[in-house]
Homo-oligomer: A and B are copies of this chain.
Amino acid sequence: MGHGTNRVEDMASPNNGTTAPATANARETIVEIHSVCLPPKKTAFQKLKKRFGDVFFPDDPLERFRNQTWRNRVILCLQSLFPIFTWGSQYDLKLLRSDVVSGLTIASLAIPQGISYAKLANLPPIVGLYSSFVPPLIYSVLGSSKHLAVGPVSIASLVMGSMLSESVSPTQDSILYLKLAFTSTFFAGLFQASLGLLRLGFVIDFLSKPTLIGFTAGAAVIVSLQQLKGLLGIVHFTGKMQFIPVMSSVFSHRSEWSWETILMGLGFLAILLTTRHISMRKPKLFWISAASPLASVVISTLLVFLIRNKTHAISFIGHLPKGLNPPSSNMLYFSGTHLALAIKTGIITGILSLTEGIAVGRTFASLKNYQVNGNKEMMAIGFMNMAGSCTSCYVTTGSFSRSAVNYNAGAKTAVSNIVMASAVLVTLLFLMPLFYYTPNLILAAIILTAVIGLIDYQAAYKLWKVDKFDFFTCMCSFFGVLLVSVPLGLAIAVGVSVLKILLHVTRPNTLEFGNIQGTQIYQSVKRYREASRIPGFLILAVESPIYFANSTYLQERILRWTREEEARIKENNGSTLKCIILDMTAVSSIDTNGIEALFELRRRLEKQSLQLVLVNPVGSVMEKLHKSKIIESLGLSGLYLTVGEAVADLSSTWKAHGQP
């Protein structure tokens, strides 16, 4: 060998001459060979610590505390626990004015939506208002988003309603149902807060965007179908959620359809959709769509009040109790047959509402260029729900539609949530009797208007264009939710996403590389026409970690590449194949199965008088190759830093030995 030093050098030992020019006498060209280094030595504990840090503390939360006085550290700690301390001291009248305007705007939306969403969850309407009072107050102290408008949301309400009512009837067993709803809320909060505390926030990353697009659209369709009850005036409606039973229930109860309800419902629906359309086209007119639900509630209530003696076809809310949230901690339910159901419902609504809350928070934070800390948000939302479950609230989170209105109305800080909560407080204390004649149809129309915007067909079309597999995931999620059930549809979509990752690892790409003439660049011969094969070499790039799941496949695939290359050479009368170069740049990890596959591959290639050369293994791979002694078994000319150096060095060695 031209270069005398062992090229596998240890960073711990003195390492002066890493580049060893080959002795020129035996070779035509002078080849500069760089050694492949081992990564700096680390103990198993250090590695574990780094890995642990990567998994749980990717944001390096203690970074800010370094190089600070103790006093500053205490302040920073308080600020990070209660973000209100960050902006509270700079709060002034100008900010307050913006927050009052936006707070009142979202209150006018939150009150009718709160009542409507509670009905979606099969809960008494008043629970929706309770849930718009306590949680926003808690969030304004703990949360780090400035624009998130907190309260009940459609998806979580729907999921809770559908999951609980499968086992317990909300009309016959209303007390038990209420207990289960609060218990689920408690577990949702506990789950959310634990994810944040244990820094397991990455769990929500497994709900990919395509999954969520499909899921949201599916849920929106289900929610819309449920509104047919209110819009058509049907009394005996199915308790099921899936497409087919709901449609058959709608048409089998045609005798219950009431033309007055339908007429009035469609009228208000048209008004609400028009105002929504106007606001979407001109964001400055956001107040039109923000005010229209409350206006519709007022007008429709008046209408029903006026015709109350003429017709009884239009159903209305009826009596609502006055007063603030009653405590409900005595209604939490920690034993008994339905506990498992409550925990399951809690986890699923918890993760869905968390995903929505964090996505909405991040969207608006990114628009105004500030940071929302995922783990901290999880704790804020979690504590808010745990507190909510003790004060007659059900699952709440940041709502997309109300947050958008909040943002457009000029909200500056979380004070807008406090203003909203105050408006709800006034409503709860004094205005409840006014809702007596509010017709159910208007609640249905409000929900329909809100959820129709969640069906994002344009996003689905873009998925189809860019990534067919993502579109497939999206469709799995959509039809799973629509035809099977909400949690199962979600599970199917997550399963499909994970399967994609596994499939990618199980069947990784291997590419044949060639040299782009006049350069040291090696690229795929299929993709770059100017890349040409080097006679005597087969250069393969493996595009995946080498794991148990693909080690056998890769070994067989590389042997097949060799067979095919030899057949090609035979056809073209080229020079015989002598060396297989494996470019390991993209092999980000290897396990013991992978190492064994490399050993076996080398053994089988040697039987065919072919040499195996590894190029540029990354740090962790290099370390394992070193520990398993495969480097030694490959010999001095079995490891190079670049493909170019390997080709140059090996060809000149062959020439020196008089081989063609």
A interface, CB within 8 angstroms of B: 11, 15, 18-19, 32, 34, 37-40, 44, 47-48, 51, 54-55, 58-60, 202, 205-211, 366, 369, 374, 462-463, 465-470, 497-498, 500-509, 511, 516, 518-521, 523-524, 526-530, 543-545, 547-553, 556-557, 560, 585-586, 588-589, 591-593, 595-596, 600, 603-604, 607, 618-620, 624, 627-628, 641-642
Cβ-defined partner of A586 (8 Å) among B466, B506, B588, B624: B588
Whether the pair A516, B556 counts as a contact (CB closer than 8 A) is no
Complex: chain B residue closest to A544, CB-CB: B588
Whether the pair A585, B586 counts as a contact (CB closer than 8 A) is yes
Which of chain B's residues have a CB closer than 8 A to the CB of A32?
Answer: 519
- With A206-B548, A519-B34, A548-B206 already in contact, the answer to whether A463 and B592 are too (CB < 8 A) is yes
**Bound CA–CA A154/B267 (angstroms):** 75
- With A550-B205, A557-B58, A600-B366 already in contact, the answer to whether A466 and B595 are too (CB < 8 A) is yes
**Bound CA–CA A523/B640 (angstroms):** 13
Whether the pair B503, A501 counts as a contact (CB closer than 8 A) is no
Given contacts A18-B530, A466-B595, 8 further A-B contacts (CB under 8 A): A15-B529, A39-B524, A210-B548, A211-B548, A369-B607, A463-B592, A467-B624, A509-B620
**Bound CA–CA A19/B517 (angstroms):** 11
Complex: chain B residue closest to A563, CB-CB: B63
Whether the pair A209, B548 counts as a contact (CB closer than 8 A) is yes
- With A526-B39, A543-B618, A592-B210 already in contact, the answer to whether A60 and B560 are too (CB < 8 A) is yes
Cβ-defined partner of A467 (8 Å) among B498, B544, B591: B591
Whether the pair A509, B588 counts as a contact (CB closer than 8 A) is yes
Which of A462, A503, A511, A618 counts the most chain B CB atoms within 10 A?
Answer: A618
Which of chain B's residues have a CB closer than 8 A to the CB of A469?
Answer: 591
Cβ-defined partner of A628 (8 Å) among B366, B466, B592: B466
Complex: chain B residue closest to A629, CB-CB: B466
Whether the pair A543, B588 counts as a contact (CB closer than 8 A) is yes
Complex: chain B residue closest to A645, CB-CB: B521
Cβ-defined partner of A40 (8 Å) among B11, B47, B55, B527: B527
Which of A211, A516, A545, A627 counts the most chain B CB atoms within 10 A?
Answer: A545
Which of chain B's residues have a CB closer than 8 A to the CB of A502?
Answer: 498, 501
**Bound CA–CA A520/B501 (angstroms):** 33
Q: Give 26 CB contacts A-B under 8 Å.
A: A18-B530, A19-B530, A34-B521, A37-B528, A39-B524, A51-B507, A54-B507, A55-B503, A55-B506, A58-B556, A59-B556, A59-B560, A202-B506, A205-B506, A205-B553, A209-B593, A463-B592, A497-B549, A500-B591, A511-B618, A521-B642, A524-B618, A524-B619, A526-B619, A544-B588, A586-B586
